[in-house]
Amino acid sequence: MESIWWAEWASLRAATIMKSIEPRLTVADQWESRSVKLNGDLKALNLQKVEAKKEKAKAERAKALEKEKNLKVERRKDREAEPDREIQGLRKLASDEKACADKAEVSLSESERGREELIRMAQDSVFATERALKAQISLLLLDFDITQLGAFKVIVDGKIVDLPE
C-alpha cells in the first residue's frame, strides 16, 4: 500500500516538475525562433554585403578592364611601360576584393555554426534535466517503472502521452 502511495506521489511530483518546466520550454522555443529569425536576418544581411561587394568588385573589374583597354591603346601610341604598373595595381585591387568577399562567406558559415551549437546546448540541457528527474524518481521508488516519464510528455485524461507536434 505504501509503495502505491509513493508511486502516486512520485508521479504527481514528476508532473508538477514537468509543469513548472513548460514555461521555460516555451521561452526556450521563443528564443530558438528568435535565434532562427536573427540568424536568417544575419545570413540575409551577410549575403547582401557579399553581393554588394561582388557587385562593387565587378564594377571595379569592369573599370579595370576598360582602363586596361585604354592603356593598351595608349601603349600602342607611345610604347611606354608605365601603364603596366597601373594594370597590375588594378588586378591586385580586384583580387583583394575577391579575398574580402571570401572572408565574408567564412564569417557567415561561422555564425551558422554558432547557431547550431546554441541549439545543441539547449537540447542537451533538456535531456540532462530529464535524466536527473528520472534518477531521482528511481532512487525514491526502486520498483517504479520510469520508462513512460520524459521531458516531452504531458498528462492527458490521466495518461502520460507525448507532446503534440
- pLDDT tens per residue, range 6-34: 777 777 777 777 666 666 666 666 667 77
Query: Where do the structural domains in the chain lie, given as residue ranges?
Result: 2-162
User: C-alpha distances in angstroms, 100 versus 60, 64, 93, 103, 118?
Assistant: 14, 18, 11, 5, 27
- pLDDT tens per residue, range 46-105: 788 888 888 888 888 888 888 888 877 777 766 545 566 677 777 787 778 777 777 777
H/E run at residue 155: strand 153-156
- pLDDT tens per residue, range 97-140: 777 777 777 777 787 888 888 888 888 888 888 888 888 888 88
**Based on C-alpha coordinates, what's the Rg of the chain?**
31
Query: Could you give the 3-state DSSP secondary structure of residue 164?
Result: coil
